[in-house]
Structure 1
Amino acid sequence: MNQTQIRLVDGLSEVTDAFAVAVAGADPQAPVPTCPDWRVRDLVGHIGQAYRWSAELVRSRAAAPPPDPRDEDPGDPHGWAEWLVASAADLIGAVTDTGPETVVWTFLGERPAWFWLRRMVADTAVHVADAAFAAGRPFTIAPDLATGAISEGLELISAAEAAALKPDLRELRGDGQTLLLRPTDAGSGWLITRTPHGVTWECGTDDADVVVTAPVGDLLLAFSRRMTPDDPRLTLTGDAALLHHWWTHTAF
Structure 2
Amino acid sequence: MLEAIDVHADGLKRAALKAGPAARVPNCPEWTVQDLVSHIAFVHAFAVGLAVNRPVQPAPPPDWDDVLGWWDGQRLALREALNRAPETPAFSPYPGFAVTVGDWTRRMAHETAIHRLDAESALEDGPPTRFSPSFANDGIDEFLTSLLPRLGRTAEVRVTTPERTWALGEPKAGLNGSADDVYRALWGRPHQASVTGDLAPLAAP
> TM class by shorter-chain length?
0.7 to 0.9
1:22-75 deviation line (CA, Å, top 9, x unaligned)? 22321211221222322100111121221122112222x13445x57xx54363
Tell me the secondary structure at the aligned position of residue 122 of structure 2. helix
Name the structure 2 match of 1:107: 93
SS at structure 2 position matched to 1:191: strand
1:38 aligns with 2:36: no
Cα 1:143/1:251, change in 2 over 3 Å: same
- Structure 1 residue 90 corresponds to structure 2 residue 81: no
CA shift digits 1:107-150 (9 cap, x unpaired): 22431112211111111111111111122313323332222221
Distance 1:235 1:58, change over 3 A: closer
Instruction: Name 1:133's counterpart in structure 2.
Output: 121
Q: Which of 162, 176, 183 in structure 1 is aligned with 2:151?
A: 162
Question: Rg: which structure is higher?
Answer: 1
Q: Per the alignment, do residues 121 and 105 of structure 1 end up closer, same or farther by CA in structure 2, a change over 3 Å counting?
A: same
Separation of aligned partners in 1, 2:31 and 2:145: 27
Q: Which has the higher contact order (CA 8 A, sep 6+)?
A: 2
Do the aligned partners of 2:160 and 2:175 also contact (CA within 8 Å) in 1? yes
Do structure 1's residue 143 and structure 2's residue 143 form an aligned pair? no
Distance between the aligned counterparts of 1:223 and 1:209, measured in 2?
16
Is residue 34–residue 130 contact of structure 1 (8 Å, CA) maintained in 2?
yes
Q: State the match for 1:226 in structure 2.
A: 189
TM-score by length of 2: 0.82
C-alpha change, 1:58 and 1:193, in structure 2 (3 Å) is: closer
Q: Deviations over 1:161-194 (max 9, x none)?
A: 422xxxxx35x3xxxx5413224xxxx2232223
Matched-pair contact (CA < 8 Å) for 1:16–1:84: no
Cα gap change, 1:49 to 1:118, in 2 (>3 Å)? same
**CA drift at 1:221:** 1.1
Find the partner of 1:180 among 137, 143, 159.
Answer: 159
Kindly tell me: are residues 101 and 156 of structure 1, through their superposed partners in 2, closer, same or farther at Cα, counting changes over 3 Å?
closer
Count of residues paired in the alignment? 201
Counterpart of 1:94, as a letter, is A
- The answer (yes or no) to whether the contact 1:225–1:247 under 8 Å persists in 2 is no
TM-score, scaled to structure 1:
0.68
Q: Which runs of 5+ in 2 are unaligned?
A: none
Identity of aligned residues (%): 23
> Which residue is equivalent to 2:10?
17
Q: From the two aligned structures, give the one with the greater strand fraction.
A: 1
What CA distance in whole angstroms lies between the structure 2 residues aligned with 1:214 and 1:72?
A: 40
Q: Which residue of 2 aligns with 1:190?
A: 165
Query: 3-state SS of the aligned residue for 1:192?
Result: strand
CA RMSD of aligned residues (A): 2.8
Q: CA deviation at 1:100?
A: 3.1
1:205 aligns to what?
none
Q: Report what 2:107 is aligned to.
A: 119
Kept in 2, the 8 Å contact 1:29–1:40? The answer is yes
Residue in 1 that maps onto 2:54:
62
> Which runs of no fewer than 5 residues in structure 1 stay unpaired?
1-7, 164-168, 196-207
